[in-house]
Amino acid sequence: MNSANIRNFCIIAHIDHGKSTLADRILEKTKTVAQRDMEQQILDNMDLERERGITIKARAVRLNYQANDGQTYIFNLIDTPGHVDFNYEVSRSLAACEGAILIVDASQGIEAQTLANTYLAIEHDLEVVPVVNKIDLPSAQPEKVCQEVEDIIGIPAMDAPRISAKLGTNIEEVLERIVTDIPAPKGEVSAPLKALIFDSYYDSYKGVIIYVRVKEGAVRVGDTIRLMATGSEFTVTETGYMTTDQLVNTGTLEAGEVGYIAASIKSIGDTQVGDTVTLAENPCSEALPGYRKVNPMVFSGIYPADGAKYGDLRDALEKLQLNDAALSFEPETSVALGFGFRCGFLGLLHMEIIQERLEREYNLDLITTAPSVIYKVTLTDGTVQYIDNPTNYPDPSVLASAEEPMVKADILVPSEFVGNVMDLCQDRRGTFKDMQYLDDTRVTLKYELPLNEIVYDFFDALKSRTRGYASFDYELMGYAPSKLVKLDILLNGEIVDALSFIVHADKAYGRARKIAEKLKENIPRQLFEVPIQAAVGGKIIARETVKAMRKDVLAKCYGGDITRKKKLLEKQKEGKKRMRQLGTVEVPQEAFMSVLKLDE
Amino acid sequence: MTGIYIHVPFCAKKCPYCDFYSVPYRKATAEAYVQAVIRNLKHYQNPDTVDSIYFGGGTPSLLSVKQISDILETCSTNFKLDSMTEITLEHNPTRTDRNYLYELRKAGVNRLSIGTQSFSDTQLKLLGRTHTAKQNLETVQNAFQAGFYHISCDLMLALPYQTEQVLTETLKILTSLPIQHVSAYLLQMEENTPFYTSPEILDNLPDDDTSADRYLQTVQMLEKAGFYQYEVSSFAKSGFESKHNLKYWYCQDYLGIGAGAHSCIKNRRFYVPKEIENFCQNPVQEEITISENACNSEEKLMLALRTSRGVPLSALQPEAQKKLAILIKNDYIKLKENNYIAMTPKGFAVSNAVTAMLI
């Protein structure tokens, strides 16, 4: 196929603006999927993705389109995750395209991720094709939204297709725009191979399957490829393109095309997104720009609720990691929770998704510790340490200074809630940077915030203070000095390591009180009184007490029927297994989880 | 020594807090039922002396004196009884009739367990009982005059509106009566009872702390009046402990006759299905085995811990013995002179948790 007839594009949008629905319609209109197989959101094939209505992993699919000019075109649709946690994956997906369809909701207008993703697309020199979706809604204002796109983003939009992906209205217009507005790929087939890895997954038969965009040259079955970041080499066993449900081995892939390569690669760690694939015999002189290793930003301890399931948890994490190189984990032990893993995530959503997949797909019952970021501490002897586990935070006596990661946050909010959002950001130690009115009803606020303040419950708090109308996006901006302390929680006088966390000195007192209250609510009364204390550097700053239980008795065992008494005893024994025994104190799983949600 | 338990699953009216199986009283059914009881008594062979017979319910006092007398006669022909055999009948004080009580005594019943529950009319009404405090008094007095010198009264605790004063009043009356035994039960909310869904009850249930206070108040006041606590719910003047009741906690044999009756004979626990029709029709009652190794060390421990005799220290696992110090320090357990341990009243109130710690 002549590369002039290839169009490589992605769809970008704020969450819920209809990205996956438009993708479905495009597949349907190009007959890529028969109507009867049509299931909502074809590209999101993880259960979790479908339920949450978000795309977690990028997907790619090839379609054929018979355009109005009489010619047949190959479309490569590359689906991208919409969420900021997966920003790097988004940016790699964009690098595989020449154009992007920008969907804007006709009633919601531009939102935080609309802007973030559009700027990302423009940075990658993509042709941005605006589309206004959901015109079937009574509250739709397509004219206003088009004007907004022109005013705020600065791209022509007055003639943007007005569509309803849900009802299938005007989808043809979008398809024609892809042909006319998005440029065909460039690239020399005879040049040395240069292909960008934009996604990969593990297949238990074929090994790692990498998704690539060939920028220059060609790759064939039997070629020895080299992955430039690691230098590792493999022999291509299959190459071709992807349909919605299978891989089609064509034996060759050329400049301008999007497809897959299988080469018996054993570990997904070898095939990092953003890396360049070339040929071992005739390598290209330099790799494609922009590759970086993705590093986890948020850490938390994950423990099996039942200690005996440690091995199952390890197996599950290993399996998840096969398809998710961004997930990191290493064994750790906690006095309170036993054996578990310290896991690293790209962000909060990533963390939640991993936890949910572990519980759902692997049927594990988990206890998760409070999420932590990586603190940079300098000791009095001048050594610098990076701390991702509060338990390892150095003693104040040897601590010279501490720094914490900061983020640049963009918050888009209806003007009536600006005050609430400012309050929240101030409360979370934010520094106000800028405020702009997008129009007379919507404001964009820019704040610098410590990452540590948003990893807990910032997003929930933001939603509840704006009745769900605010949208939020952030990017990491480096470290800043901070006055941090380690807050310890003591039960019956003993420090519970799994409950320790790092907090800004000014907020320690309030946080301590809230945690003590939450624990009191969630630790059931037991035979002995349980004092709950919160301490900073040995000084108690908050305390609560769970009073001893007074009544737990089965009064009647009627007519010699002791079965009930026995059942009760069995139940109690079973219940004890689900509790964590810390000295004489029994702590239920819920108590550990309750301290993660303090804003309720 | 063996006990015989005879279950009488008839009630004139179902109490709204009770989830035990019972059927409305019908004369013909009751007669068929009594015949089946007699048939079964003849079926079981037991060389042991029978030192207790217990008519429980339901409402055994719905049976006629003749019916009770026939049952007791079958017992005495078929089993070895002696003059000390404790013969108890649960009696509903709606029936105060002295003559009936006199006849019962004559038929051989020597212990009466009266379902008084409370001596406050408001509380009795709330419980849906069909008798008044006055009838309670009359029944006790008439029983005494009819020659019952071993009388037990039931008392319910942790009831809605049962303030300290209300309970004190009831206990004062109770302890001034010519009785030797009290069974005091904390109200337990059971699913599938009207209480379980009644807003009035639910809104006014005492919390755990108040319930525990009422329980300890009862222990204290009964103790003062000479009733010592010999089991979680049982109080007696010295020498008047219920032999039958103790069989359950000391893992002694008891044979249950009747629909829904439980037995424990030679380390085998079994019960009879609760449907009355089958019991009446079957030549011999059906036995469903619960366990073949009843009265093992764990079970013995669990049951004996309900009594104030307690268990010998040596019966505890080493792991459990280590936990004793903290239980004693917190006044849940006391160490007795004979190297037995037993729960304190405070311990009885949380006996499920204490037991779970020691087993």
**Residue A524, min C-alpha distance to chain B (Å):** 12
Cβ distance of B254 and A560 shorter than 8 Å: yes
Cβ distance of A556 and B263 shorter than 8 Å: no
Closest chain A CA to residue B290: A563
In this complex, the residue of A525, A556, A572 whose CB is nearest that of residue B356 is: A572
Residues B227 and B308 in one domain: no
pLDDT digit string, tens, across residues B311-341: 999 999 998 998 999 999 999 999 998 999 9
Tokens read off for B5: 């338990």
Measured CA to CA, the distance from residue A234 to residue A262 in angstroms comes to 9
pLDDT value at position A40? Answer: 54
Q: Which residue has the higher pLDDT, B147 or A327?
A: B147
Residues near A334 by beta carbon (within 8 Å), at least 6 away in sequence: A301, A303, A340, A369, A391, A497, A498
Cβ distance of B264 and A560 shorter than 8 Å: yes
Name the burial class of residue A357, with classes exposed (0-12), middle (13-18) and buried (19+) by CB atoms within 10 angstroms of its CB: buried
Q: Are the CB atoms for A377 and A394 separated by under 8 Å? A: yes
Flag whether residue B186 sits within 8 Å of chain A, measured between CB atoms: yes
Tokens read off for A459: 């997003």
Task: Say if B280 falls within a structural domain.
Answer: no
Angle of helix B351-358 relative to helix A563-577, nearest 10 degrees?
Answer: 70
DSSP H helix total and E strand total for chain A: 14, 32
Residues B318 and B174 in one domain: no
3-state secondary structure of A171: helix
Task: Say if B39 falls within a structural domain.
Answer: yes
Q: Write out residues 512-551 of A within 8 Å (CB-CB) of B.
A: 525-528, 548-551
Q: Where are the alpha helices (DSSP H) in B177-242?
A: 194-197, 199-204, 208-224
pLDDT digit string, tens, across residues B292-316: 999 999 999 999 999 999 999 999 9
Residues B192 and B327 in one domain: no
Q: What percent of chain A has pLDDT over 70?
A: 92
Partners of B353 on chain A (C-beta within 8 Å) are 526-527, 549, 552, 572
Q: Which residue has the higher pLDDT, A332 or A19?
A: A332
Q: Which residue has the tokens 């085995």?
A: B289
pLDDT digit string, tens, across residues A220-230: 999 999 999 88
- Checking if the pLDDT of B81 tops 80, the result is yes
> What's the mean pLDDT in A184-210?
89
**Mean pLDDT over all residues of chain B?**
95
Q: What percent of chain A has pLDDT over 90?
A: 46
Partners of A558 on chain B (C-beta within 8 Å) are 20, 56
Q: Which residue has the tokens 């002396």?
A: B49
With cut-offs at 50, 70 and 90, classify the pLDDT of residue A594.
confident
Q: Are the CB atoms for B290 and B38 separated by under 8 Å? A: no
> What's the mean pLDDT in B226-243?
97
Q: Are the CB atoms for B141 and B96 separated by under 8 Å? A: no
Q: Which residue has the higher pLDDT, A565 or A324?
A: A565
Distances (CA, A) of A571 to A53, A566, B248: 40, 9, 21
Task: Say if B270 falls within a structural domain.
Answer: no
Partners of B261 on chain A (C-beta within 8 Å) are 559
Q: Which residue has the higher pLDDT, A538 or B285?
A: B285
- Checking if the pLDDT of A349 tops 50, the result is yes
Task: Say if B105 falls within a structural domain.
Answer: yes
Q: Which residue has the higher pLDDT, A367 or B240?
A: B240
Q: Are the CB atoms for A336 and A369 separated by under 8 Å? A: no
Flag whether residue A483 sits within 8 Å of chain B, measured between CB atoms: no
DSSP H helix total and E strand total for chain B: 15, 17
pLDDT value at position A29? Answer: 83
Tokens read off for A462: 């933001």
> What's the mean pLDDT in A11-35?
79
pLDDT value at position B66? Answer: 97
The total number of structural domains in chain B stands at 2
pLDDT digit string, tens, across residues A369-388: 888 999 999 999 999 999 98
Residues B203 and B337 in one domain: no
Cβ distance of B299 and A555 shorter than 8 Å: no
- Lowest-confidence pick of A117-126, A446-455, B11-20, B143-152: A117-126
Cβ distance of A526 and B303 shorter than 8 Å: no
> What's the mean pLDDT in A215-219?
94
- Checking if the pLDDT of A327 tops 90, the result is no
Measured CA to CA, the distance from residue A255 to residue A194 in angstroms comes to 8
| CATH code of the domain containing B196 | 3.20.20.70
Task: Say if B258 falls within a structural domain.
Answer: no
> What's the mean pLDDT in A126-141?
94
Q: Where are the alpha helices (DSSP H) in chain B?
A: 27-43, 65-78, 98-107, 121-126, 133-145, 164-175, 194-197, 199-204, 208-224, 243-249, 276-281, 297-304, 318-329, 345-349, 351-358
pLDDT value at position A387? Answer: 93
Q: Which residue has the higher pLDDT, A250 or A113?
A: A250
Residues near B156 by beta carbon (within 8 Å), at least 6 away in sequence: B117, B118, B123, B127, B184, B185, B186, B187
3-state secondary structure of B67: helix
Distances (CA, A) of A24 to A32, A40, A103, A166: 10, 7, 14, 9
Tokens read off for B10: 């008839």
Residues B206 and B308 in one domain: no
Q: In what order do the strands lie in the sheet with B262-265?
A: B228-231, B234-236, B181-186, B151-157, B111-117, B80-91, B49-57, B2-8, B253-257, B262-265, B268-271, B288-291
Residues B29 and B123 in one domain: yes
**Residue A556, min C-alpha distance to chain B (Å):** 7
Measured CA to CA, the distance from residue A382 to residue A570 in angstroms comes to 57
> What's the mean pLDDT in B246-270?
95
Closest chain A CA to residue B207: A551
Cβ distance of A551 and B215 shorter than 8 Å: yes
Q: Which domain holds residue B330?
A: 297-358
With cut-offs at 50, 70 and 90, classify the pLDDT of residue A236.
very high
Global pTM reads: 0.72
Task: Say if B100 falls within a structural domain.
Answer: yes
Q: Are the CB atoms for A421 and A413 separated by under 8 Å? A: yes
Residues B346 and B226 in one domain: no
The DSSP bridge partners found for residue A407 are A449, A476
Task: Say if B276 falls within a structural domain.
Answer: no
pLDDT digit string, tens, across residues B24-79: 999 999 999 999 999 999 999 888 899 999 999 899 999 999 999 999 999 999 99
Q: Write out residues 241-260 of B within 8 Å (CB-CB) of A.
A: 247-248, 254, 256, 260
Q: What percent of chain B has pLDDT over 70?
A: 100
Task: Say if B287 falls within a structural domain.
Answer: no
pLDDT digit string, tens, across residues A37-60: 555 555 555 555 555 544 444 478
Angle of helix B351-358 relative to helix B297-304, nearest 10 degrees?
Answer: 150
Distances (CA, A) of A526 to A191, B51, B324: 74, 41, 16
**Residue A519, min C-alpha distance to chain B (Å):** 20
- DSSP H or E stretch at residue A142: helix A142-148
Tokens read off for A63: 């379609």
Cβ distance of B290 and A563 shorter than 8 Å: yes
Would the ipTM clear 0.85, i.e. be above it? yes
Tokens read off for A597: 């949600």
Let me know the angle formed at the C-alpha of A401 by A397 and A407, rounded to the nearest 5 degrees: 140
Q: Are the CB atoms for A201 and A242 separated by under 8 Å? A: no
- Other Cβ atoms closer than 10 A to B134: 12
pLDDT value at position A16? Answer: 79
Q: Which residue has the tokens 């050594």?
A: A383
User: Which DSSP string do the residues of B270-327 spell out, in sequence order?
Assistant: EE--S-HHHHHHSSS---EEEESSTT-HHHHHHHHTTBSS-EEGGGS-HHHHHHHHHH
> What's the mean pLDDT in A434-446?
87
Flag whether residue A581 sits within 8 Å of chain B, measured between CB atoms: no
Q: What is the CA radius of gyration of chain B?
A: 20
**Mean pLDDT over all residues of chain A?**
86
pLDDT value at position A47? Answer: 57
Cβ distance of B326 and A550 shorter than 8 Å: no
pLDDT value at position A53? Answer: 46
In this complex, the residue of A525, A554, A561 whose CB is nearest that of residue B352 is: A554
- Lowest-confidence pick of A472-481, A574-583, B235-244: A574-583
The DSSP bridge partners found for residue A234 are A225
Which DSSP symbol is given to A272?
A: -
Residues B26 and B86 in one domain: yes
Residues B179 and B316 in one domain: no
Cβ distance of A528 and B326 shorter than 8 Å: yes
**Residue B83, min C-alpha distance to chain A (Å):** 24
Measured CA to CA, the distance from residue B115 to residue B125 in angstroms comes to 14
Cβ distance of B186 and A553 shorter than 8 Å: yes
Mutate to test the interface with A, among B274, B351, B354, B359 (most CBs of A within 10 A): B351
Residues B352 and B242 in one domain: no
Measured CA to CA, the distance from residue B56 to residue B59 in angstroms comes to 7
- Checking if the pLDDT of A100 tops 50, the result is yes
pLDDT digit string, tens, across residues B87-96: 999 999 999 9
Residues B36 and B157 in one domain: yes
pLDDT value at position B348? Answer: 97
In this complex, the residue of A553, A569, A584 whose CB is nearest that of residue B302 is: A569
Cβ distance of B330 and A548 shorter than 8 Å: yes
Q: Are the CB atoms for A291 and A92 separated by under 8 Å? A: no
Measured CA to CA, the distance from residue A205 to residue A148 in angstroms comes to 49
With cut-offs at 50, 70 and 90, classify the pLDDT of residue A19.
confident
Measured CA to CA, the distance from residue A537 to residue B75 in angstroms comes to 76
Q: Are the CB atoms for A241 and A167 separated by under 8 Å? A: no
With cut-offs at 50, 70 and 90, classify the pLDDT of residue A117.
confident
Residues B214 and B320 in one domain: no
Q: Are the CB atoms for A389 and A372 separated by under 8 Å? A: yes
Strands A585-588 and B2-8: unpaired
Measured CA to CA, the distance from residue A353 to residue A350 in angstroms comes to 5
In this complex, the residue of B208, B233, B261 whose CB is nearest that of residue A556 is: B233
| CATH code of the domain containing B319 | 1.10.10
Among the three residues B248, B282, B316, which one is the final residue of a domain in this structure? B248
**Residue B201, min C-alpha distance to chain A (Å):** 19
pLDDT value at position A39? Answer: 52
